[in-house]
Amino acid sequence: MTSMHLILIGLSVLHARTGGLNEQKLDKPVLKGPSIALKDTSEYFYCEIPGHTAAVQVHYELYVETNMDKIISEHTSLTGDTAALLLFVREHHDGRLICKASAHNNTDIQSSYSDAWELRVITPVKGLGIISHPSSLNVWEGQTLTLQCKKAQGTHVSYDWFLNEMPVQMQYDRNNDTLIIHRLSARHTGDYTCVASNQFNDTIYNSSSEAVTVNVKEPVGGAVTLTPFKHIKDFQVVGVGLLCKVERGTFPVYRWFHNGSRLTGRGDFYAVAYSDESFLSLSVSRNSNGFYHCDAADRFDNSSSISSAKMIISEEALNSVSPLVAVVVFTCFAVLIVAVTTCCMYGVMLRRRYSSKYPLNEQRGINKIPVKDEDDEEDDDYLMLEGYDEDVTHADRMSDSNEDEDESVDETLLYEGAAPE
């Protein structure tokens, strides 16, 4: 009976204490402060319980929501004033802050928590570098390439990507430090850089990475052709150039062979040119006679190659006149002779026809100078005098001149013996 009585008394005391805690819970505090802060600076956050009096002294504590076990700032309000919580901003303070209000030195009053306050901690970005996946930057067409812009420090960063100093022409998330390129092609070849930036108020922080070169490889394929070029001096071929070209391939490299032997660098009668060794220069001589061909392979993987057809180079053949050229020259010469002969014959025929149509006397008569009679001249002089009375002297001189001309003409006609009656 006594033990039962003690149990009932304990239950009644426990019920009374629980009811008292529920009734004495602190009101919800309100947290305010800056929404953005620069790393390694000091900022104040303010926490208070609206309408609270000094009847209960309140102790305020500031936490990061993701780590409620560590107090980052605290303040005790003994007079009911607003708590000013000084915070030396660190990067791990970025996120949601919580203010906890509890009765000072009184565990019988239940604590309360504020709503979360968003804080963005800005750490200036710096120390950028690009990491690629796969690690090799020599990739084949059709593969997927991932480039990551790795930073040494920086928060709330935006990223911009550039290819050969021009913005990348594809969509990507600027808030993500990764650029993913699917189905690589030759147009993706070039130098990639990333630029990261963040901002605090009106100040913008930027940092750029070193460029990384991406080589997108198209496998060598198709036919390999040889194109000859002749160097002629004094009507003789003194040199030959051979250009080797593969139909497909982004980074081909070539190898030359003479009668099955590999040609490299420079020799007595040859020189391999161009960075990809695609051109072979030959000095025509007996040593250079023989068969030539080239092989094409990938610069980054020369385990397999494609060979061109063989081409013969001969000093005698290069400097001999081909039958076709001889026929063309002879034909042109014959046509020229026929044309000249035809012109000469036509000239002779035309001259004979002209002579038969116009006898010698008639031809000479054509060249005679028509002479006016003296009576006609006198009539003309009379008309001139009648029209121009003031120039009588000039008319007489003209008449004398005409008479002298008539005498000269008559002498010519008498000399030829062809003057008419």
> pLDDT tens digits for 222-245?
999 999 999 888 888 889 999 999
Shared fold status for 22-122 and 126-217 = yes
Mean pLDDT of 342-364: 71
Mean pLDDT of 178-194: 94
Residue 55 clears pLDDT 80, i.e. is over it: no
pLDDT (0 to 100) of residue 315: 85
CA-based nearest residue to 127, from 158, 153, 147:
153
The Cβ-side half-sphere exposure at 387, using a 13 Å CA radius, reads 6
Spatial contact of 252 and 269, defined as CB atoms under 8 Å apart: no
CATH class of segment(s) 126-217: mainly beta
Distances (CA, A) of 421 to 359, 409, 413, 417: 21, 14, 11, 11
CA distance 206 to 159: 10
Contacts of 264 (CB under 8 A, 6+ apart): 256, 272
Q: In the chain, where are the structural domains located?
A: 22-122, 126-217, 221-319, 323-357, 374-416
Q: Give the tens place of pLDDT for each residue, 245-272.
A: 999 888 899 999 999 999 999 999 999 9
Note the helical H segments in 154-269: none
Q: Give the tens place of pLDDT for each residue, 99-109.
A: 999 988 888 88
pLDDT (0 to 100) of residue 23: 56
pLDDT (0 to 100) of residue 183: 93
Instruction: Compute the radius of gyration of the chain from its Cα atoms.
Output: 57
| Architecture category of domain 22-122 in CATH | Sandwich (2.60)
CATH class of segment(s) 221-319: mainly beta
CA-based nearest residue to 263, from 285, 290, 239:
290
Distances (CA, A) of 341 to 204, 329, 347, 353, 417: 92, 19, 10, 19, 41
